[in-house]
Amino acid sequence: MRAFVTAVRRLRPLALAGALIAVAGGAAAVEVRIKDIADFEGIRDNMLVGYGIVVGLDGTGDNLRNSAFTESSLVSMLERLGVNTRGTDLKTNNVAAVMVTGTLPAFARQGSRMDVGVSAMGDADSLRGGTLLVTPLMGADGEVYAVAQGQLATGGFTAAGEAERVTRNVPTQARIPSGAIIEREVDFELDRLDEVRLSLRNPDLTTSARVAERINGALGERLATALDPGTVRLTVPERGGAGTAALLTRIEQLRVEPDQPARVVVDETNGIVVMGRNVRISEVAVAQGNLTVRVTETPLVSQPNAFGDGETVAVPRTRVEIDEETDSRMVLMREAVTLDDLVGGLNALGVGPRDLISILQSIRAAGALQAELEIM
């Protein structure tokens, strides 16, 4: 690679504004916990959602004329409380219709609490200072699993005057820490399972095989089998002990080296390039150069002498510069160039983020990029 660096020594350095290049060509293999790359069957969260009413807003709620669902919900709520308002022209703007969302944790027990998020549905300006009234939260099966209520905590606000308006963060979103009480549990008996499946977050055949081998080596038995790139089946041994939970606790702390495919991810919109450490380049020649035409306008002012006849006028003055980048050179990259060599060489060549994307696409078209090129 010395000849490559010498060939580009005289060229300008690369300004990596707006580009991110992940370089791991010479990095040592890193082992991670199974807990960080896989999920266990049954140990999962469940999404909950509900429709509710927020009251107590300081004139920043929904306009009832524009939000018919808010008015209808308000009338229905008051009827349940014994107040008949049907046929009445309601004009309050201290009420807002909201969607309440939350995540039911795995193995959450009845009576425990969970956080919820609140988002305005209508044209409310802010939820600051509001209180959510009792709101049932349902799962995908239509059953109610939790009930939310409480004072909203917002991280944004809006201040406005006659000539200016200032908004910080999103005042129409809020949270209620521990604002929902769990009323129904999700039935799942982990300790009664005969086998447990591990689901890899990044499916890969090599990684799943390594996970199975690591588990078998740690337990001293062939209890784990890689079924496919994303699934490892674990047979629970039939013997006394602390149970399935203790077995999974031991397994999730085991460390394996996940395999990484040779992949280059390109985000053309933002000019971002991310490369894996296994990316290799076959022997290929690269040349980079652009024609730059720069036009500069520096008009001069011409005016008559003191007490003289005439008028002041602007005299145009144009300067045209053409830069053909004659110092750019063609560079030969040898067989099996590593990612370190590729990035270092392109940096020295003066390649910008957009040009780097074009060069990678051209190298791939030439059949010299031994990696998957993914364009977002």
Rounded to an integer, the average pLDDT of 328-345 is 60
- Residues 6 or more apart from 247 whose CB is under 8 A from it? 236, 237, 241
Domain that holds residue 232: 32-42+189-256
Query: In terms of pLDDT, which residue wins out, 273 or 117?
Result: 117
Q: Which two tokens mark 218?
A: 């740690």
DSSP states of 46-57:
EEEEEEEEEE--
Strands 231-235 and 224-228: antiparallel
- Fill in the DSSP letter of residue 202: S
Distance of CA 166 to the CA centre of its chain: 27
Same domain, 115 and 129: yes
**Tens of pLDDT along 232-253?**
999 988 765 568 888 899 999 9
Shared-domain flag, residues 171 and 211:
no
Q: Among residues 30, 40, 23, which one has the least CA distance to residue 232?
A: 40
Q: Do residue 76 and residue 124 come from a single domain?
A: yes
Q: Which of 120-134, 252-266, 294-308, 313-327 has the highest mean pLDDT?
A: 120-134
pLDDT digits (tens, 9 = 90+) for 350-375: 666 667 777 777 778 877 777 888 87
Q: What is the CA 219 to chain-centroid distance, rounded?
A: 37
Please tell me whether residues 239 and 152 are part of one structural domain. no
Q: Are residues 268 and 172 in the same domain?
A: no
Of the candidates 206, 231, 256, which is a domain's last residue?
256
Q: Which residue, 182, 198, 231, sits at the end of a domain?
A: 182
Q: Are strands 263-267 and 372-375 parallel, antiparallel or unpaired?
A: parallel
Neighbours of 75 (CB within 10 A): 17
| Token code pair at residue 73 | 């919900």
One-letter identity of residue 280: R
pLDDT the model gives residue 28:
52
**Residue 139 sits in the same domain as residue 198:** no
Helix (H) or strand (E) holding 98: strand 96-104
- Domain CATH number, residue 210: 3.90.1150
List the single range of 3-12, 30-39, 175-184, 276-285 with lowest mean pLDDT: 3-12
Are 50 and 177 within one domain? yes
Residues 290 and 197 in one domain: no
Q: Which helix (H) or strand (E) holds 284?
A: strand 284-287
Residues 295 and 209 in one domain: no
pLDDT at 281: 75
Q: Are strands 255-256 and 32-33 parallel, antiparallel or unpaired?
A: antiparallel
Domain's final residue, options 165, 182, 199: 182
Pairwise CA distance, residues 328 & 361, whole Å: 20
Count of domains forming the chain: 3
Say what the pLDDT of residue 19 is.
41
Contacts of 187 (CB under 8 A, 6+ apart): none
Question: Would you say residue 2 has pLDDT above 80?
Answer: no
Give just the sign of the alpha carbon dihedral 361, 364, 368, 370: positive
Q: How confident is the prediction for the chain on average, in pLDDT?
A: 79
Tell me which of 124-138, 156-170, 334-348 is least confident.
334-348
94 vs 155, higher pLDDT: 94
Same-domain status, 248 and 271:
no
Are residues 279 and 314 located together in one domain of the fold?
yes
Asked whether residue 245 falls in the same domain as residue 339, the answer is: no
